[in-house]
Chain A
Amino acid sequence: MSRPRILAIETSCDETAAAVVDDELTVISSVVSSQIDLHAAFGGVVPEVAGRAHVELVEPVVAEALAAAGSSITDPGVEAIAVTSGPGLVGSLLVGLSAAKALSWVWGVPLISVNHLEGHLFAAQLEHPAIAHPHVTLLVSGGHTMLLLVEAPGEYRLLGETIDDAAGEAFDKVARYLGLGYPGGPAIDRLAAEGNPTAFRFPRSMRDGGLDMSFSGLKTSVVRTVDKLDEIPVADVAASFQAAVVDTLVTKAMAAVEMTGARALVLGGGVAANSGLRRAASAACEEAGIHCALPTMAMCTDNAAMIAAAGWHHLSSGDVAPLSLAANPSMKLELLEAH
């Protein structure tokens, strides 16, 4: 007899994803259909293109996740269905939401609303089940750059965040400026490996000791510097830019760890795939004598397994959503009251 399972659906941006996860947070199956190729020609995610692709992909992806879990869409064998209801692109969110509602209704199982960011915070529960609490999570993606204290699963305090661009957004903008294409993160990461990270001294915006960050000035500085050059040493610019981003993120993350007495640092989100960030965070944690939990590459990108993990948390506290659940493109993470 297999353990109780949840099916989760994630369509907040440009990945169509479904996963089956059991109550011990074992990932039974996880399917991600990426639309990167669809959007690459436009240099970024086009919301209308994403929405259209989700409509045709969502239920084949769900069927594939269930088949890989040994069941089927007509006989799913799940306790509940979890779905990302925000934040994200509204035209994408409502596709996953519509599919999840229909399945919940037909299967007669509860619908669970999950905040996408909370999904990223629960990703560590899947890959590092023994992770100590409290820990600091550095959540870095194309849409978000946040430092959170996770006191227990589902209990968060916001420690700091970007006041302008997300770190991943800075990667994309600089990559576009350097003509490296989309997505920018992997392209810069690859080039940075061949460049000199001290060739240019780009600013580290430390925002006077607090834990907030800023990345728009950095991008401007890169543009201003490169504009003055006759020939652009692209690898050196990439390496120096990446070093500035990584420096800022790791300095702030370690300050957050020290300030809160956290026992571990967790990385999450698409930028957590950046090799420079992974190296620097591991080294800083080793020096500080705390555990550094790095996600696998598959867990950095958006996926539904992390949504299922958050779904289990909500289901266990009876937090079930009605069929009238709306998509909330600017949904906020629910935080603990300030001290």
Chain B
Amino acid sequence: MITLVLETATTAAAVALLDDGELLAEMVASDDRHHTESLLPAAAELLGGLGLSVGQIDRVIVDVGPGLFTGLRVGLATARSLAVARGIGLIGLTSLEILAADPRVEAETHVTAVVDARRGEVFAQRFVVGGVRPEPDGDPLVITPTGLAERLAGTSGVLVGDGALRYADILGSTGATIVELAMPSPGVAGQLADAASIAPVDPVVVVPLYLRDPDAVANFTVAAQISR
């Protein structure tokens, strides 16, 4: 079972190939927002290097976010079209879950994954780890780093993600350990899907997890409330 994993939720673009749970190859294609240009050339290079062709891909996994909106759109449009054209299933995993599942995150019980949401906010979700799949301890949030630090005060645990690194000075004040890991790993995503036996679904139901309304919609809602 050959699996292609696409990762575009942060400023980096990355791909991985797995055969069932075995990681065959992983590549960071770009680290500076060039998702459109770098994603598929990297996937083609990875496949070619292993003597495989696109026709041999059995399923696709994509990071649905939360993260950079444009990155998510490139990842989702690519993954959905690829899966539909191949007639195969697609698995969507969240950036926060992939970060929490990373074996480089050595946590006893709890991990909080923190992805940079820009404009002074982060996407964050706390997980209970130790099992096959990180178990969400609450919904993902859009929150300021200070707000997150307040919520985490007094809890032990580990923080991971580009948001944790960017706001290390604020979040580190909680006493939490911050793991030096910014990008959700496509290899980890592939291994997680295999280990937890996550089933592929119809590609059209896999959509980006934005967690934030477009500006105009948010402004419009506010305006509508004021004018009422």
Contacts and interface: CB of A to CB of B under 8 A. Distances in A.
Interface stretch (B73-81, B106-114, B190-198): B73-81
Interface in B7-37: 34-37
Contacts of A90: 70
B86 A106 contact: yes
A102 B81 contact: yes
B86 A74 contact: yes
A73 B202 CA distance: 14
B227 to A, nearest CB: 13
A97 B78 CA distance: 9
A95 B73 contact: yes
A251 interface: no
Contacts of A102: 40, 77-79, 81-82, 85
Interface stretch (B97-105, B129-137, B207-215): B207-215
A63 interface: yes
B36 A323 contact: no
B147 interface: no
Contacts of A325: 36-37
Interface in A52-72: 52, 54-56, 58-60, 62-63
Contacts of A106: 54-55, 81-82, 85-86
A91 B81 CA distance: 17
A76 B214 CA distance: 35
A73 B204 CA distance: 13
Interface stretch (A40-48, A166-174, A256-264, A276-284): A40-48
Nearest to B74: A98
Interface majority SS (helix, strand, loop, mixed), chain A: helix
Interface majority SS (helix, strand, loop, mixed), chain B: helix
Query: How many interface residues does chain B have, given as a range?
Result: 35 or more
Given A60-B204, A99-B81, A46 B217 contact: yes
Contacts of B174: none
Given A46-B217, A325-B37, A326-B36, A55 B73 contact: yes
Given A106-B85, A323-B40, A98 B73 contact: yes
B36 to A, nearest CB: 5
A323 B217 CA distance: 34
B44 interface: yes
Q: Which of B38, B208, B216, B220 has the most CB of A within 10 A?
A: B216
Contact of B214 (A49, A54, A74, A99): A49
15 contacts: A48-B214, A52-B73, A52-B210, A55-B77, A56-B207, A58-B77, A63-B84, A74-B85, A99-B80, A101-B78, A102-B77, A102-B78, A102-B81, A106-B82, A326-B37
